[in-house]
């Protein structure tokens, strides 16, 4: 005798998804049966996209769609054709919370489906690429449960990577929109169910007190009943999902390692900033003290070469009375300043590393060793006046340099302002920094560097910084090896 399996469940889209494992189980148990699913007509379009045609033969689920509301469900004889038996699987009234996964296990048990397989996973009949976007559904399409924009924290309302889900979308677009999300936020239930079944990585749901998460829990959904808890969770999530660029004030949402990448000016920055240190732990000697004198011959030679080029190509252009006066900021072992001094200049170094009393002798020793006067202070904490007053001639500097130092500045605008005040208006300012668009940047991407570099710049980021500051213009820039770039700057 031929068998027709009639499945009745008038629930919404979530229910359709939840009975999918039941349909699959029944199909295995009754391989030759004909299947008919009774559900609301509103969901017919989704069934088309969701259900494997081998489970429900073409259009069979269209046969008895109900307009709305509850109808009597007891009578299955109308489905029987001559010589057929009707097996009615009535899932109406099955209490969904009877099992750990909302509905899925309960439906299978009610239908007498044996074997395992309670996972709900929906393969889509079209390709979707996951985007780094948040999809927000404000209103559940059927029963009016929903959210308002005010239920969401401000930081989320203002983001431009949020897609507001329009319930008037076609089934295909509805599925596609949810499937591409990195994060889904919505009220219980259809969108949440779809997001979960489609494997959206982060899902946050606001439930109603009538149907709390305890009844309608769904896998991988962070569920809240209280609005303030829901808001709090989202605030925390989104505080970690974006940061304001200190260079151009745009909002950054993408990260590379621990750096936010500004989509507007291209700066990379840490947020929150690391605790200020002058050296990474690895740069210190076994006794925990500064190890800056341990520069290799090659490092010293590179330092001397850069200083000579700067002197010949740029400092030589500055008209000065007497010898040119120079300052190397963040000099550590002051070999750069020493080279300029050998070329006849009045040169100074400044470094704040280990500037506490205990460590001062090390810096003093560097200073004595090379005969370069050094100011042992944190450059970001002193005034131009304090610096100038501690130099012999008290006049402004004709050249200032920061070699692998500018990326250590916590407030680059303040640093530029100080330098601008220190510099002869005709003078030059040299910066050598890691530049993330220059090949070899990987060398700067390690924990050791992260602990001391609040920023990484690129040429574009540097241009934005200089333009916004209104203090300097770039007169020359060129990429160097190992992911670095040089800039020659002039006061505006
Ligand atoms: Zn920016």
Q: Do 48 and 86 reside in the same domain of the chain?
A: yes
60 and 98 together in one domain? yes
Name the token pair of 143.
Answer: 């029963």
Q: How far is the CA of 267 from the centre of ligand 1 (A)?
A: 5
3-state secondary structure of 25: helix
- CA–centroid distance, 446 to ligand 1, in Å, is 22
In a domain, residue 247? The reply is no
Whether the CB-CB separation of 457 and 465 falls below 8 Å is answered with: yes
Query: Residue range 395-424: average pLDDT?
Result: 97
> What distance in angstroms lies between residue 249's CA and the mean position of ligand 1's atoms?
6
Q: How far is the CA of 274 from the centre of ligand 1 (A)?
A: 18
| C-alpha 155 to ligand 1 mean position (Å) | 18
Residue-wise burial string across 206-215, b where 16 or more C-beta atoms lie within 10 A, e elsewhere: bbeeebebee
Q: Do 298 and 414 sit in the same domain of this protein?
A: yes
Q: Do 302 and 200 belong together in one domain?
A: no
355 in any annotated domain: yes
User: Measured in angstroms, how far is the CA atom of residue 311 from the centroid of ligand 1?
Assistant: 33
**In this structure, are 183 and 36 located in the same domain?**
no
12-42 per-position pLDDT tens digit: 777 777 888 888 888 888 888 888 777 776 6
Cα–ligand 1 centroid distance for 245 (angstroms):
5
Instruction: For residue 464, tell me if it sits in a domain.
Output: yes
- Residue scoring higher pLDDT (485 or 50): 485
Of 382, 161, 347, the residue nearest 254 (C-alpha): 161
Same domain, 106 and 146: no
Alpha helices in 99-179 (DSSP H): 104-110, 154-157, 171-179
Q: What pLDDT does residue 92 have? A: 79
For residue range 358-409, list pLDDT tens digits in order: 555 677 788 889 999 999 889 999 999 999 999 998 899 999 999 999 999 9
pLDDT band at 69 (very low <50, low <70, confident <90, very high): very low
Give kind and range of the element (H or E) at residue 340. Answer: helix 335-342
Tell me the CA–centroid distance for residue 436 and ligand 1, in Å. 14
Q: Are 212 and 225 in contact (CB under 8 A)?
A: yes
Of residues 226 and 155, more confidence is placed in 226
Tell me if 90 is assigned to some domain.
yes
Residue 356: the pLDDT is 47
| Structure confidence at residue 150 as a pLDDT band (50, 70, 90) | confident
Tell me the CA–centroid distance for residue 308 and ligand 1, in Å. Answer: 34
287 and 234 share a domain? no
Q: How far, in Å, CA of 337 to CA of 400, rounded?
A: 10
Alpha helices in 390-429 (DSSP H): 412-422
**Beta 346-350 vs 325-329: how paired, if at all?**
parallel
The Å distance, Cα 466 to ligand 1 centre, comes to: 12
Ligand 1 centroid, distance to 264 Cα (angstroms)? 5
φ, ψ for residue 183, nearest 5 deg? -135, 135
Phi, psi of 269 (to 5 degrees): -145, 155
Assess whether pLDDT exceeds 80 at residue 349: yes
pLDDT tops 80 at residue 245: yes
Q: Are 193 and 299 part of one and the same domain? A: no
Please give the distance, rounded to the nearest whole angstrom, from the Cα atom of residue 449 to the centre of ligand 1.
21
Claim to verify: residue 70 and residue 173 sit in the same structural domain: no
How many structural domains is the chain composed of? 3
- Could you give the dihedral angle defined by the CA atoms of residues 212, 215, 221 and 225, in that order, rounded to the nearest 10 degrees? 10
How far is the centre of ligand 1, averaged over its atoms, from the C-alpha of 115 (Å)? 56
Residue 128 Cα to ligand 1 midpoint, Å, equals 30
| pLDDT at residue 236 tops 70 | yes
Task: Kindly tell me if the per-residue pLDDT of 71 is higher than 50.
Answer: no
- CA dihedral sign, ordered 329, 368, 313, 306: negative
**Mean pLDDT value across residues 182-194:** 88
Distance from the alpha carbon of residue 465 to the mean position of ligand 1, in angstroms? 9
pTM, entire model: 0.63
Looking at the domain assignment, is residue 19 inside a domain? Answer: yes
Q: How many angstroms is it from 246 CA to the middle of ligand 1? A: 7
Cβ atoms of 13 and 41 within 8 Å: the answer is: no
For residue 162, the CA-to-ligand 1 centroid distance in Å is 20
Centroid of ligand 1 to alpha carbon of 413 (angstroms): 13
Burial of 421 (0-12, 13-18, 19+ CB in 10 A): middle
* Rounded distance from Cα 247 to ligand 1 centre (Å): 5
pLDDT exceeds 90 at position 151: no
Ligand 1 centroid – CA 262 distance (Å): 4
Range in 76-90, 187-201, 362-376, 468-482 with the lowest mean pLDDT = 76-90
How do beta strands 251-252 and 243-244 pair?
antiparallel
Distance between CA atoms of 133 and 159, rounded to whole angstroms?
10
Q: What percent of the chain has pLDDT over 90?
A: 42
Q: Range with the lowest mean pLDDT among 61-75, 218-232, 453-467, 475-489?
A: 61-75
Residue 487 CA to ligand 1 centre (angstroms): 19
Phi, psi angles (nearest 5°) of residue 150: -70, -15
Distance 382 CA to ligand 1 centre (A): 27
Q: Do 85 and 173 share a domain, yes or no? A: no
Give the domain range for residue 457.
281-491
Q: Is the residue at 254 inside a domain? A: no
> How far is the centre of ligand 1, averaged over its atoms, from the C-alpha of 248 (Å)?
4
Within a domain: 245: no
Q: Are residues 296 and 189 in the same domain?
A: no
pLDDT of residue 159: 80
Task: For residue 397, give the CATH number of its domain.
Answer: 3.40.50.150
Instruction: Among 155-164, 330-339, 446-455, name the one with the lowest average pLDDT.
Output: 155-164
272, part of any domain: no
pLDDT band at residue 251 under the 50/70/90 scheme: confident
Residue 438 has which token pair? 């220059």
Please tell me the predicted confidence (pLDDT) of residue 53: 55
Is the domain of 23 the same as that of 171?
Answer: no
More confident residue, 318 or 165: 318
Ligand 1 centre to CA of 452 (Å) is: 20
Q: What is the reported pLDDT for 273?
A: 85
Q: What spacing in Å lies between the alpha carbon of 185 and ligand 1's midpoint? A: 28
**Distance in Å, CA 108 to ligand 1 centroid:** 54
The alpha carbon of 51 and the centre of ligand 1 are apart by a number of angstroms equal to 46
278 alpha carbon – ligand 1 mean position (Å):
25
* Overall average pLDDT of the 301-315 stretch: 96
The reported pLDDT for the residue numbered 291 is 57
């Amino acid at each position: 005798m031929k068998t027709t399996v009639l499945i009745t469940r008038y629930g919404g889209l979530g229910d359709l998804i939840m009975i999918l494992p039941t349909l699959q189980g029944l199909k295995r148990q009754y391989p030759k049966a004909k299947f008919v699913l009774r559900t609301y007509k509103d969901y017919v379009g989704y069934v088309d996209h969701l259900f494997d045609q081998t489970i429900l033969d073409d259009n069979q689920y269209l046969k008895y769609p109900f307009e709305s509301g509850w109808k009597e469900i007891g009578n299955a004889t109308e489905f029987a054709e001559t010589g057929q038996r009707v097996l009615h699987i009535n899932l109406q009234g099955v209490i969904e919370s009877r099992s750990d996964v909302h509905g899925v296990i309960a439906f299978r048990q009610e239908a007498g489906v044996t074997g395992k397989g309670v996972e709900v996973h929906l393969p889509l009949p079209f390709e979707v690429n996951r985007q780094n976007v948040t999809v927000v559904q404000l209103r559940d399409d059927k029963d009016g449960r929903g959210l308002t924009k005010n239920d969401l924290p401000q930081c989320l309302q203002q983001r431009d990577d949020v897609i507001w889900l329009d319930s008037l979308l076609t089934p295909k677009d509805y599925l596609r929109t949810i499937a591409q999300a990195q994060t889904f936020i919505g009220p219980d239930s259809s969108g949440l169910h779809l997001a979960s079944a489609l494997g959206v990585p982060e899902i946050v749901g606001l439930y109603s007190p009538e149907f709390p998460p305890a009844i309608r829990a769904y896998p991988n959904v962070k569920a809240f009943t209280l609005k303030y808890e829901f808001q709090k969770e989202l605030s925390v999530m989104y505080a970690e999902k974006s940061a304001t660029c200190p260079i151009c004030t745009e909002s950054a949402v993408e990260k590379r390692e621990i750096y936010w990448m500004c989509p507007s000016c291209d700066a990379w920055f840490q947020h929150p900033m690391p605790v200020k240190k002058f050296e990474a732990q690895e740069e210190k000697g076994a006794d925990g003290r500064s190890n800056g004198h341990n520069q290799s011959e090659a490092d010293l030679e590179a330092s001397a070469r850069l200083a000579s080029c700067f002197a010949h190509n740029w400092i030589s252009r500055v008209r000065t009375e007497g010898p040119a006066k120079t300052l190397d900021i963040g000099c550590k072992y002051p070999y750069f300043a020493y080279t300029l001094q050998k070329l006849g200049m009045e040169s100074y170094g400044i470094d704040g590393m280990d500037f506490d009393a205990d460590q001062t002798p090390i810096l003093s020793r560097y200073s004595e060793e090379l005969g370069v006067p050094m100011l042992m202070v944190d450059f970001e904490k002193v005034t131009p006046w304090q610096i100038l007053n501690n130099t012999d001639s008290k006049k402004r500097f004709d050249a200032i340099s920061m070699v692998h130092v500018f990326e250590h500045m916590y407030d680059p605008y303040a640093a530029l302002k100080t330098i601008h005040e220190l510099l002869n208006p005709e003078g030059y300012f040299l910066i050598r920094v890691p530049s993330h668009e220059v090949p070899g940047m990987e060398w700067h991407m390690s924990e050791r560097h992260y602990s001391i570099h609040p920023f990484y710049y690129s040429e574009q980021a540097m241009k934005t910084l200089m333009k916004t500051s209104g203090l300097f213009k770039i007169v020359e820039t060129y990429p160097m090896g190992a992911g670095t770039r040089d800039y020659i700057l002039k006061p505006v």
